[in-house]
């Protein structure tokens, strides 16, 4: 719910003296200083969800005469807001503009109202869903490497930033949003029904382990409606593996095996306790060219929180002697 302040309103009508409500009321959308009054946004706004009674906007209107009124916004992203009724007394009143239509795309939009050369508006953000994938452009995250990673230039990298950037891309009947990192990498994520997809490589989130990949593939990395123990595999992809960990790079194929380890659990990181966290284990399997069996070369777990996405990750380094932890440090979800 995105309400700033809750208001209640009651239309005033009169059956005893109909002459009181004859004609149209005079009113202003501005306050005494000549500024647009603030608007309180109520309800959640999601793609393809028809607006319900819970979707409305409360505005403060200054009436200078009694009578009928009619206030309507323009139509933005398939939605508009409207209210009409009667007022029997002058002064400031809270009016509830009711939402209509449904959002077409995940985006922010400004709705404008115009009356007597006065134009005021309010902005509403639309999400794909209140789920484990953030889709609002400009949202940012910062993650920390523990221990620090060694970059391409040999310098230690302690942390990195991620920003959700436009435009979205369409692939295989899905809308993929772009997550760009301060390490100059771009990742693509999408949601369809209860499945979460990546279009990319089979590495861990924001961390590469393969020396080379033949191409990007689409695969599910999270399911938000399955019980603990649910497991699934990706398709195979051609890769080279080994040099990133001090060995010899070998050609072969790879696939990931995902398993849900816990669901709807609290998890504390960066001083905040997140709710409804899903923990997923990822086993990275590699089959060297000329062999017949897949071997697990790495594994790790990732924690995803509703409304935030990835909040922590722990990767077991080959050899079983150390781990790479990548917890979230801070975030700014638009």
Confidence of residue 21 (pLDDT cuts 50, 70, 90): low
pLDDT at 148 over 90: no
What pLDDT shows up at residue 9? 36
Distance CA 133, CA 106 (A): 12
Q: Is the dihedral of CA 200, 277, 134, 313 positive or negative?
A: negative
Determine if the pTM surpasses 0.75: no
Confidence of residue 15 (pLDDT cuts 50, 70, 90): very low
CB 230 within 8 A of CB 260: yes
pLDDT band at 129 (very low <50, low <70, confident <90, very high): low
* Region of 20 on the Ramachandran plot (φ > 0 left; ψ -120 to 50 alpha; else beta): alpha
* Mean pLDDT for the stretch of residues 109-125: 91
Average pLDDT for residues 70-76, to the nearest whole number? 95
Alpha carbon distance 152, 139 (integer Å)? 27
- Beta strands 56-63; 67-72: pairing state: unpaired
- What are the tokens at 232? 């699934």
Q: What is the pLDDT of residues 201-252, one digit of tens each?
A: 999 998 888 999 999 999 999 999 999 999 999 999 999 998 877 789 999 9
Please tell me whether residue 273 adopts helix, strand or coil conformation: strand
Helix (DSSP H) and strand (DSSP E) numbers for the chain: 0, 23
Q: Count CB atoms within 10 A of the CB of residue 208.
A: 13
* Distance (Å, whole) CA 46 – CA 80: 14
Write down the pLDDT at residue 153: 58
Q: Residues 126-155: what's their mean pLDDT?
A: 81
The closest of 191, 213, 260 to 46, measured between CA atoms, is 191
Q: By CB neighbour count within 10 A (0-12 exposed, 13-18 middle, 19+ buried), where does 266 fall? A: exposed
Cα separation, 135 vs 309, in Å, equals: 10
What's the pLDDT at 11?
40
> Which domains does the chain possess?
18-125 (2.60.40.350), 140-332 (2.40.360)
Helix, coil or strand: residue 170: strand
């Amino acid at each position: 719910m995105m309400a700033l302040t809750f208001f209640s309103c009651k239309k005033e009508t009169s059956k005893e003296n109909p002459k009181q409500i004859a004609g149209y009321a005079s009113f202003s959308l501005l306050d005494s200083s000549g500024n647009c009054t603030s608007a309180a946004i109520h309800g959640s706004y999601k793609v393809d969800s028809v607006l319900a009674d819970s979707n409305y906007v409360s505005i403060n209107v200054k009436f200078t005469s009694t009578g009928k009124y009619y206030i309507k916004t323009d139509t933005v992203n398939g939605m508009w807001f409207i209210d009409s009724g009667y007022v029997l007394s002058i002064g400031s009143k809270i009016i509830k503009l009711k939402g209509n239509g449904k959002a077409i795309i995940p985006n922010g939009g400004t709705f404008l109202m115009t009356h007597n050369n006065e134009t005021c508006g309010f902005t509403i953000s639309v999400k794909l869903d209140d789920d484990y994938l953030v889709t609002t452009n400009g949202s940012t995250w910062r993650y920390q490497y523990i221990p620090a990673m060694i970059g391409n230039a040999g310098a230690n990298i302690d942390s990195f930033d991620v920003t959700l950037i436009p435009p979205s891309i369409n692939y295989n009947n899905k809308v993929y949003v772009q997550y760009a990192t301060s390490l100059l990498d771009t990742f693509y994520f999408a949601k369809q029904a209860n499945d979460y997809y990546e279009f990319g490589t089979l590495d861990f989130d924001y961390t590469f382990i393969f020396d080379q990949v033949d191409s990007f593939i689409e695969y599910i990395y999270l399911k938000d409606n399955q019980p603990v123990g649910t497991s699934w595999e990706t398709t195979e992809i051609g890769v080279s593996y080994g040099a990133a960990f001090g060995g010899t790079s070998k050609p072969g194929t790879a696939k990931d095996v995902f398993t849900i380890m816990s669901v709807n659990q609290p998890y504390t990181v960066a001083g905040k306790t997140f709710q409804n966290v899903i923990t997923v284990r990822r086993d990275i399997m590699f089959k060297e060219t000329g062999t017949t069996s897949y071997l697990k070369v790495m594994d790790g777990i990732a924690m995803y929180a509703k409304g935030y996405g990835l909040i922590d990750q722990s990767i077991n380094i080959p050899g079983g002697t150390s781990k790479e932890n990548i917890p979230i440090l801070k975030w700014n979800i638009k």
